Structure 1
Amino acid sequence: MESDDRNISPGTKLRGRGAGSNLVGRYERHAREAMDDGWDIPHDASVLRTEVAIETPRSVLSRNTSPDIPFDRSINPYRGCEHGCVYCFARPTHAYLGLSPGLDFETRLVARPDAAKVLDRELRRKSYRPATIAIGTNTDPYQPIERDFGIMRQILSLLRDFQHPVGIVTKGALIERDIDILSELAAQGLTRVGVSLTTLNTDVARRMEPRVPGPKRRLRMIERLSAAGIQTRIMMSPVVPGLTDHEIEAVLKAGRDAGAVAASYITLRLPLEVAPLFTEWLDDHFPDRAAHVMNRVREMQGGKDYDPQWGQRMRGAGPHADLIAKRFKLAAKRLGLDRKLPPLRIDLFAPPLRRGNQMSLF
């Protein structure tokens, strides 16, 4: 995909979008700047519609060797995410497509309708060894376009047939559509879900995560998943110092009351193009505290917008990072959310027979 000329004039207020601009990705040789072309043609500059391209991948399993992440494989049914969370650390991946990590990331999406078919081939390889597949750790599998494509439901159906473990992270209420499959997997110890809730403040959430269900709706998701026997974790991801960190105890309590059985957090990460996008957003939406928030961020990131060092990129370092960690730990313990959940089962894995194949006698 090549980036088009979706330049946004300074000061333009876009409805339902997180990023305020379409900054050029780090691999592009030329910058683009919006200007008046002199044609007085009326149009609604505040609306930027979503476009979806189709991709047929050769593989859908992405491998990971990071010591900070407790899984070694993941699936991304979509590239880009219409939720538009301004802080999303996955935004820089759009630069690999020649697109902007800004507005392109949330308006020019890529769907993989054949993902389940490709996954079927990968899971049937004789060399394949099962381990939990993580879905939603990069872009959200239950973003709005999933309603039209249904890729996630196809993948879950396949994993149920293979009796393969899967861990899911989402902010999308569309996950409730798949409770029938998820409850079957959960009954066998093959799945659990993490619901990301960054704030209980509806106004902050709407500005920061413009196309995500509101805080109350996400708590209702936890209630419904839990009621169906699906273990659910409340995830405060990210904790934004100076903006949402005062809510740690309240968010955890709300999650526990809704039925969550565990909790985790990640502090704000601003890699590569995310840093200028986030500072631009702060200046636009919270000019009274923008400097304070970024000072806190840099204090936790060794004086920089982001420190990618293993072991601390998810938590930060320094006095304020230590304070957040202590508060979270105490609140989780008091609320009974500090449980170490058992690993999902891998011993049930069994590729189902293809149609026309004969059963083995031994």
Structure 2
Amino acid sequence: MRVPLDRVGWDALPLVDAADERPLIERRAVLRGGFYEAQARTMIERVPQVAGIGQRWAVSPYRGCANACRGCGARAGHRKLGLDAGRDFDTRIVVKPNAVERLRAELARWSGEPLAVGVSGDCYQPAEQTYHLMPGLIAALGEAAVPFTVYTKSPLVLRDAALLAQAGAQVAVSIAFVDERIRRAVEPGAVGAQARLELVAALVEAGVDCRVLMAPVLPLLSDAADQLAATVRRIAATGARAVEPVVLRLPPATRTWYLEWLAQAHPHLVQRYEELYDRAGLPAEGYERRITGQIAQLCQTYGLHAGPPAPTPHEPRYPQLALV
């Protein structure tokens, strides 16, 4: 039975009429210790084509990233949560506390196609020190015999080196340049290049299949021949087996945030960026081919494989029984 409004107390009227204008994530998540905890409905998600990595599907226990990389292509995901793709992406981190349970359920019917881990946010960012989700995810992927690559900039990955080696995982450490001035400007929350180079060497020594994602190469900022040569030379000294170069992508949400910074720090470059990138955020094909070609030549000089890794064959989780 409906209650006439004239019989509702005045104090209750705001409850009847007011709309909840909070961001979607604040209505659906629990805020605990500065992190938004939200139960994941699905863990295996499609990788946006503009990402530039080899895998088509990804698993990410965290959304948003304290590394605060200005060119991160995952920023658009925060808009779907009612947050902005700039400062909110860097500081309002969403955690999926049921990630391991949900992933195990999905892997039970997964085809075995390779997965990327940590695309929506570094899977070893500071939130991992609190939630410790990665050991369970690594175990689940290893038991399912699914090939996977962990993408990270964080030395925290060393904590799980033995688990990663046992699971046959690949680790791709992102080192796009070795100039600390650039790193402080565009990756303010990440550790420096030297720490990441030492991380690669430590992973190799621990028996982890490790390569370097030379991404993102920044047009007109970190793409000079001497900069590329210095980066590849120092990567080669770590013992990494391969380098995968990716030129900066600027999908719409990332483009806005990145160009705002560029207009303040390097205003003379804004027009050149506008000319270089298409509406989808991809760099001009000729430019990208030239840069990746230069890096490939440098890799050949220093004895490194260049480009994405070859597809990893996987055994079916339940092999077919012999008929005879």
The within-5 A match list for 1:203-222 is: 203-222=181-200
Q: 1:167 aligns with which of 134, 142, 149?
A: 149
* Deviation string, structure 1 residues 1-48 (Cα, Å, up to 9, x no partner): 9449xxxxxxxxxxxxxxxxxxxxxxxxxxxxxxxxxxxxxxxxxxxx
Task: Provide the alpha-carbon RMSD of the alignment.
Answer: 2.4
Matched with 2:237 is 257
Letter in 2 for 1:57: A
The within-5 A match list for 1:284-323 is: 284=264, 286=265, 289-292=266-269, 294-301=270-277, 306-308=278-280, 313=282, 316-318=284-286, 320-323=287-290
Matched with 2:213 is 235
1:334 maps onto 2:301 in alignment: yes
Task: State the 1:252 CA deviation.
Answer: 1.2
Letter in 2 for 1:290: P
Q: 1:184 aligns with which of 150, 158, 166?
A: 166
Task: State the 1:276 CA deviation.
Answer: 2.7
Tell me, in whole angstroms, the C-alpha distance in 1 between the residues paired with 2:199 and 2:53.
Answer: 25
8 A contact 1:55–1:111 mirrored in 2: yes
Task: State the 1:96 CA deviation.
Answer: 0.4
Percent sequence identity over aligned pairs = 29
Letter in 2 for 1:237: A
Task: State the 1:65 CA deviation.
Answer: 8.0
TM-score, normalised by the number of residues in structure 2: 0.81
Task: State the 1:75 CA deviation.
Answer: 0.6
TM-score, normalised by the number of residues in structure 1: 0.73
Tell me, in whole angstroms, the C-alpha distance in 2 between the residues paired with 1:348 and 1:227.
Answer: 30
- Paired residues in the alignment total 287
- Report the structure, 1 or 2, having the larger helix content: 2
Task: State the 1:283 CA deviation.
Answer: 3.5
* Deviation string, structure 1 residues 227-267 (Cα, Å, up to 9, x no partner): 11222221221111111112212111111111111111111
Q: Which runs of 5+ in 1 are unaligned?
A: 5-49, 352-362
SS in 2 for 1:253: helix
Letter in 2 for 1:156: I
The within-5 A match list for 1:62-73 is: 62-64=45-47, 66=49, 69-73=53-57
Matched with 2:42 is 59
8 A contact 1:163–1:350 mirrored in 2: no
Q: 2:312 aligns with which of 344, 348, 353?
A: 344
Task: State the 1:163 CA deviation.
Answer: 3.0
* Deviation string, structure 1 residues 115-173 (Cα, Å, up to 9, x no partner): 11111111223xx3212111123321111111111112220122223333211111111
Matched with 1:135 is 117
SS in 1 for 2:285: coil
Matched with 2:14 is none
Letter in 1 for 2:284: G
8 A contact 1:268–1:297 mirrored in 2: no
Comparing 61-70 and 249-258, the one that deviates more: 61-70
SS in 2 for 1:193: strand
Instruction: Call closer, same or farther: CA 1:325–1:69 in 2, change over 3 Å.
Output: closer
Instruction: Call closer, same or farther: CA 1:198–1:342 in 2, change over 3 Å.
Output: closer
Matched with 2:94 is 110
Q: Which has more radius of gyration?
A: 2
Instruction: Call closer, same or farther: CA 1:321–1:118 in 2, change over 3 Å.
Output: closer
Comparing 88-97 and 58-67, the one that deviates more: 58-67
Letter in 2 for 1:169: Y
